[in-house]
């Protein structure tokens, strides 16, 4: 298991509880997902989680924090290149956030109930600039799913990349279980990676 984790750590960087700037460098057409193990996930003390990915000259960072009972989610995309970073979208939707339980069941999706133009669109980030996408679950709605929520995912629609990290205050309480606080999915998933 230690060898496997060492190999994975070479391509993935996920930090929970610390928001230091760091990036993971990976190639395309691989899929990696953790946590492993079972058991309920809940403990007090961790109020934010973070994951990052660098591909080409683009850096994606996922920040998830709980504040006053609300869940705050932020996906920051930075173009470190010298040319615009442009993504073609099949609709007007540019990004999404999803919360999953320990079995991969979807508990929340930011885009649910929203209307987007059905025309082909594009989004672009100028060189050496960032774009930040945000979502918030109010305290009343989050209270209903908090005990079941384990993973927060964020992605730019119509790209093969997705970031995920544990929700705040989550860790594995099972006997002998192993947990890694996040994941990066890379591949041809058309915007929403299902690898369960």
* CATH class of the 2-186 domain in this structure: mainly beta
Which pLDDT band holds residue 168 (cuts at 50, 70, 90)? confident
What share of residues in the chain are helix, strand, coil (percent, to 5)?
Answer: 10, 40, 50
The whole-number pLDDT of residue 46 equals 59
Residue 52 — pLDDT band, cuts 50, 70, 90? very high
pLDDT tens, position by position, 120-135: 999 999 999 999 999 9
H-type alpha helices, 100-145: 139-145
pTM of model > 0.95:
no
Give kind and range of the element (H or E) at residue 64.
Answer: strand 58-67
Among residues 97, 89, 78, the alpha carbon closest in space to that of 153 is found at 97
Confidence of residue 41 (pLDDT cuts 50, 70, 90): very low
Average pLDDT over residues 83-89: 95
What tokens were used for 173? 């309480």
- Ranges 20-34, 124-138, 176-190, most confident: 124-138
Q: Report the distance separating Cα 172 and Cα 41, nearest Å.
A: 5
CA distances from 159 to 55, 62, 90, 185 (A): 12, 16, 11, 11
């Amino acid at each position: 298991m230690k060898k496997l984790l060492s190999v994975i750590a070479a391509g993935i960087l996920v930090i929970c509880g610390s928001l230091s700037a760091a990036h993971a460098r990976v190639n395309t057409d691989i899929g990696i997902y953790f946590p492993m193990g079972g058991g309920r996930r809940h403990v007090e003390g961790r109020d934010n989680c973070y994951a990052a990915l660098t591909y080409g000259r683009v850096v994606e960072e996922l920040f998830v924090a709980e504040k006053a009972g609300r869940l705050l989610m932020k996906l920051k995309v930075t173009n470190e290149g010298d040319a615009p970073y442009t993504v073609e979208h099949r609709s007007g939707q540019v990004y999404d956030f999803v919360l999953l339980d320990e079995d991969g069941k979807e508990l929340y999706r930011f885009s649910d109930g929203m209307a987007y133009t059905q025309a082909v669109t594009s989004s672009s980030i100028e060189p050496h600039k960032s774009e930040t996408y945000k979502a918030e679950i109010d305290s009343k709605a989050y209270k209903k799913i908090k005990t079941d929520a384990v993973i927060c995912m964020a992605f730019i629609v119509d790209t093969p990349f997705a970031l995920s990290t544990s929700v705040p205050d989550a860790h594995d309480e099972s006997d002998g279980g192993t947990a890694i606080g996040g994941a990066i999915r890379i591949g041809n998933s058309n915007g929403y990676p299902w690898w369960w």
